Amino acid sequence: MPPDPYPSGTDAPSTDFRFIAHYNFPPFFTLQPNPLTRSSQLETWSTHILSYCRHHRIFTLTLIDALSTPLFHNTILKKKLSLNDARTVLNWMASKEGGERIEWIGGKGGKESKCWVFWRRPEEWADAVGSWVEATGQKGVVFTLYELGQGEATRSQEFYGIDRELLHRSLQILVKKGKAQIFGQEDQLGIKFF
């Protein structure tokens, strides 16, 4: 059985995602040699990847698994981005020029490379959680990471279903700002908001 292309507990994609116009243009799937054209193309790929991952609530990608998904493969056109070109796009997204919207997990060498996709950066997730805590009067309440990321109370929030590691990383930002405290063991972490 092939690996799950929708990691981090995400659901299979819904059919209502609207692909960008370039997705139906065959040259989009071949990186162009002209530097100006390539720069524009990389920006368009970045927009496409971030929109797709946000819509499908994908927080991490494994490069080789993602190549066969609609993210990189237009089955109607029978066109897909090559492994090397997809790696180039993701490396660009990881760069300052690309907005640091990708972060490689454990190195970026092989085709099994995995990366975070920051359709919201950790700082933005921290702000979203902090805003929810403030708006719902949850200061002083202790939550487990599971309750925040998967609990019934947060079901309507954009951070519902967030990858546990990304949630923990985002909450550390609130801790550094003095707005929260994390305590407990690795598998039993709790957080209290101030």
Look at the domain 21-117 and name its fold: Arc Repressor Mutant, subunit A (1.10.10)
Please tell me if the domain spanning 21-117 has the same topology as the one spanning 122-193: yes
Q: Which residues of the chain have pLDDT under 70?
A: 1-15, 107-112, 187
Spatial distance between the Cα atoms of 54 and 25, rounded to a whole number of angstroms? 22
Q: What pLDDT is stored for residue 15 in this prediction?
A: 59
Spatial distance between the Cα atoms of 9 and 164, rounded to a whole number of angstroms? 10
Q: What pLDDT is stored for residue 13 in this prediction?
A: 42
Q: Is the pTM of this model over 0.85?
A: no
User: What digits encode the pLDDT tens for the residues 155-187?
Assistant: 999 999 999 899 999 999 999 999 999 988 776
Q: What percent of the chain has pLDDT over 90?
A: 79
Please give the CATH number for the structural domain made up of 122-193.
1.10.10.10
Number of Cα atoms under 13 Å in the Cβ half of residue 187: 0
Sorted by where each begins, the domain ranges of the chain are 21-117, 122-193
